[in-house]
Every structure is written in structure tokens, then in C-alpha cells.
Structure 1
Amino acid sequence: MQITIIGTDLPGRDCPASRNFPGYTNIHVGVQRRGHPDELLGLQPADAASTTWTLDCKVTGTDIADLLGPHIQGPPGGRFIYLNWGSVEADGSFDGFRRAKVMLCDIPPAVFAEALNTHRLTATLGLTDAAGQPLCARVKPERISWSAG
């Protein structure tokens, strides 16, 4: 199965400091490989109009808990995908400062059942929080749209 994540409404490459945010420049976002926080798939600048990542995963049963893959984190019943935010330094290194957690347990059961037939899941979400900063923490179900295709 493939999971495609479509990120829209990115916050911009530079986010100024605010009360609860120290501010960063040259911001990028990518998908974290399980167990390797510095190994990111599809690192994209945060001023892009949108971004898309496609992840391969294996379905070992008929439940969301049965999804496994190099970019899927967490235990059965708590699987998720990390979107890591950070500044890309002049030497090309990535200095991560926050992550968004896309919870697979929030996929509607009917969508997942259909995805078992299509072998594709698509998540669409805005990547800017209410304060205009990079989206972080657990992505609430109402902020993400899932489809089987």
C-alpha cells in the first residue's frame, strides 16, 4: 500500500519570533524515518505552495494497527507518521525544532476498508497552525482529510 501525504498552506521559509516561538529561518519539512530523526524523506522548503510525500507500507492484516513501513512510527494501535520541521543550515545540516504527528488511528474505518482494495491512502492537511507557525504536536482529526485513492 502507498500513503500519500499532501501538505498545503505551508508557513513560509522564515517564521519570526513570537511569545511562544523563538523564530527560525530557512525552514524545511520532511517525513522522519522510524528510529532516525535526522533521516528525512522529501525535505521541502516551507515556502512551497504545497508538498507531497508518498510512503510505501505493508499491510499485515485488515486493521490500521497492521500498517508497517520505514516511515511509520509507534506500536500497534498507536501508529503515526512524523513530519519534522527544522532550519537548513549553511553547511546543509538540518536543525530540527518541532514535529507534527499524523495519527493513523484517526483514519476513518470506512476509508481504510476502501484503501485495502485500492492499495492507496491519501491524507491532505494544512501545515500552518493558528498562530501562523509550523504545525506541530498531534494533528487533530478535523485538520486532516483522508481518502482511499
Structure 2
Amino acid sequence: MARLVLRIRGYELPGSACGEYRDVHVGTQRGKDPDQLVSADAAEVVFEVPVETLTRADGTVDFKGPYVQGRPGARFTYLTWGELPPGGRFAMFRRAKLFLADLPAGAAAGGIAQTELALTDGKGLPRCAGLRPPQITWRLSGTDDMNDQS
């Protein structure tokens, strides 16, 4: 197994009051729980998500870890959006799915895979749903090679 870190830099956040939502926060999802929560008023967010990579005997790559969701061959990680009022509990209302199959081929060897993306959609709300190239591109740390699967 190799250790991979997903470094997700989000910019253009929608603000803590957007649409019908108040006290909006974004974070990663660890298992079923939100993690690394940051107010959506932030200028930018940077999340680091640890992932273990496993190259099987047949050459296919699988991903493991507490932030990894989905079945083999269709693994992903979530950015989760929710309301977190002062002294209250996080109430998730949207998620964005980042597919691990879209990582550059060299990611199986470990290291750092980075992406940067705007976190506000065209309606001024938190970006959600499945994010696939060209909406999201990944690069391995120390390289200028962005995966281009558009």
C-alpha cells in the first residue's frame, strides 16, 4: 500500500448565508461524519484527505481509508455542506462528490494529488453533485501534468 494525500483547495465560497441556508460550513466527510469544517465565509479552504492506495495483482488500483466512500472501482470522497449554528449540530444539506478514478495514473504510487476549484455554483449556492473533468482537474505534487480527461 502507498500513502496518498488529496489536497483540495477551494476558493470562491458562497458565504455563510446563501439561498435559504444560514451558518453554512463546508468540510470533508469521514465515514458518515463531517470533518475539517470551515465557515463558507472563508476566502479559501484547504483540506488534506489521507488515502491509502492498493495496486491489485490484476493491475487495478483501489483506494482505502476513512474518507473513502463507494464500492471498488467507483471510489470517491465527499465535500459536505451544512448549517452549523453557534452551539448547534451540523445539518448537512448538500455534498460534492470527487471521484478517485479521475486522479492521475501516477497517484497509485502515493504522494500528493492536488486540485483547486470554485465552490460556488452558477446560482450562488454551494457547489454539489458529482464533479468530473473538466470541472475538476488533479495534478501530482511536483509535476505540471494535469490530468486531462475532458
Matched with 2:67 is 71
2:37 is the counterpart of 1:43: yes
**What is the aligned residue count?**
136
What letter matches 2:105 in structure 1?
F
Distance 1:90 1:121 in 2: 34
SS across alignment from 1:145: coil
Offset at residue 106 of structure 1 (A): 2.1
Residue of 93, 103, 106 corresponding to 2:102:
106
Distance 2:131 2:53 in 1: 23
What is the TM-score of this pair, normalised by structure 2? 0.83
Specify every segment of 5 or more residues in structure 2 that has no aligned partner in the other structure, as ranges.
Answer: 142-150
1:26-48 deviations in Å (ceiling 9; x for gaps): 100011112x1xx2221010011
Residue of 51, 60, 63 corresponding to 2:54:
60
Distance 1:105 1:135 in 2: 20
Q: Which has the higher helix share?
A: 1
Paired-residue identity, %: 38
Offset at residue 118 of structure 1 (A): 5.7
Deviates more, 1:41-50 or 1:85-94: 85-94
1:91-146 deviations in Å (ceiling 9; x for gaps): 23111111111111222xxx331x34561111221111111100111113112120
Contact 1:118 1:148 in 2 (8 A): no
2:21 is the counterpart of 1:24: yes
What is the TM-score of this pair, normalised by structure 1? 0.83
Distance 2:81 2:60 in 1: 26
SS across alignment from 1:105: helix
What letter matches 2:123 in structure 1?
A
What root-mean-square deviation, in Å, do the aligned CA atoms of Structure 1 and Structure 2 show?
1.7
